[in-house]
């Protein structure tokens, strides 16, 4: 079967089913695993589908199935992240013990921090470097470095956090909906998020509007477990007026 015909069949299958596994495509196309993987990589580059672990998913189905590298995230919704980060930084007060989660929006927050009379703990290597450069007292937990996000994760990270009690903290998320709460694609990172939120007096999740009504694979907090800081809530989303929501740029009604 020619590549063009394989690509057409793959796109039709993904569109009709929503998701499809590599094994199913191998059987459908009578092709090897390496051929299917090459086809999926090419189709993802052409934005015809999204590759996920073990297969592919339809674009725009409301699900976030895999994480992105930090250098990719930095350029997505940058102005919204900057608005959120600037406001979040203003919440940090002298004497606070601050937790900063790994992520592109929390990294933008680190660039906005002016409060030096506070102690900061982060599980993000890039954020730790930025905090040190700004003259902030900075702590890192133990753990294993996740290459894609440069976050410290794992049982050792959680064990390191058990002795700490944060006055305020800020987390990133890949998706939020009132039903599923805050979600992220990877279990080990979700566990660190969940535990650190439980250790924090005033937890905030930094969530730009593109992530509202999106769902990823693992829930790390329920809707009421943290206050959302969002640039704005789109009309018709059903999220306006949600408890524990700070909307920085409310939509203006006509």
pLDDT tier for residue 68 given thresholds of 50, 70 and 90? low
| Contact present, 120 and 131 (Cβ < 8 Å) | yes
Q: φ and ψ at 140, to 5 degrees?
A: -125, 140
In this prediction, residue 71 carries a pLDDT of: 65
Is pLDDT at 254 greater than 50 in this prediction? no
**DSSP state for residue 238 in the 8-state scheme:** S
102 or 240, which is more confident?
A: 102
Is pLDDT at 48 greater than 90 in this prediction? no
Q: What is the tens place of the pLDDT at every residue in 4-47?
A: 899 989 988 887 776 788 999 999 999 999 999 999 988 888 77
| Contact present, 208 and 80 (Cβ < 8 Å) | yes
Distance CA 47, CA 44 (A): 5
What does the pLDDT average to over 78-90?
Answer: 95
pLDDT tier for residue 62 given thresholds of 50, 70 and 90? low
Q: Is 188 exposed, middle or buried (0-12, 13-18, 19+ CB in 10 A)?
A: middle
Distance CA 109, CA 103 (A): 10
Is pLDDT at 83 greater than 80 in this prediction? yes
Given the structure tokens 């660190």, which residue do they identify? 192
Distance CA 95, CA 22 (A): 52
What does the pLDDT average to over 127-144?
Answer: 98
* pTM exceeds 0.85, yes or no: no
* Whole-number average pLDDT of the chain: 88
């Amino acid at each position: 079967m020619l590549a063009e015909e394989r690509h057409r069949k793959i796109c039709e299958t993904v569109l009709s089913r929503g998701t499809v596994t590599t094994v199913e495509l191998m059987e459908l196309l009578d092709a090897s695993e390496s051929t299917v993987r090459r086809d999926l990589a090419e189709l993802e580059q052409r934005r015809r589908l999204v590759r996920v672990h073990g297969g592919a998913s339809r674009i725009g189905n409301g699900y976030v199935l895999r994480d992105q590298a930090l250098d990719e995230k930095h350029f997505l919704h940058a102005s919204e992240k900057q608005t959120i980060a600037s406001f979040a930084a203003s919440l940090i007060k002298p004497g606070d013990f601050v937790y900063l989660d790994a992520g592109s929006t929390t990294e933008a927050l680190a660039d906005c921090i002016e409060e030096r009379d506070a102690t900061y703990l982060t599980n993000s290597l890039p954020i730790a470097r930025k905090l040190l450069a700004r003259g902030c007292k900075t702590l890192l937990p133990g753990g294993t470095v996740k290459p894609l996000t440069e976050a410290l994760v794992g049982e050792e990270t959680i064990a390191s956090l058990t002795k700490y009690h944060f006055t305020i903290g800020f987390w990133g998320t890949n998706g939020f909906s009132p039903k599923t709460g805050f979600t992220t694609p990877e279990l080990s990172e979700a566990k660190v998020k969940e535990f650190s939120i439980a250790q924090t007096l005033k937890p905030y999740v930094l969530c730009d509007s593109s992530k509202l009504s999106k769902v990823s694979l693992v829930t790390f907090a329920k809707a009421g477990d943290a206050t959302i800081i969002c640039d704005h809530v789109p009309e018709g989303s059903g999220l306006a007026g949600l408890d524990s929501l700070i909307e920085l740029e409310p939509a203006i009604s006509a």
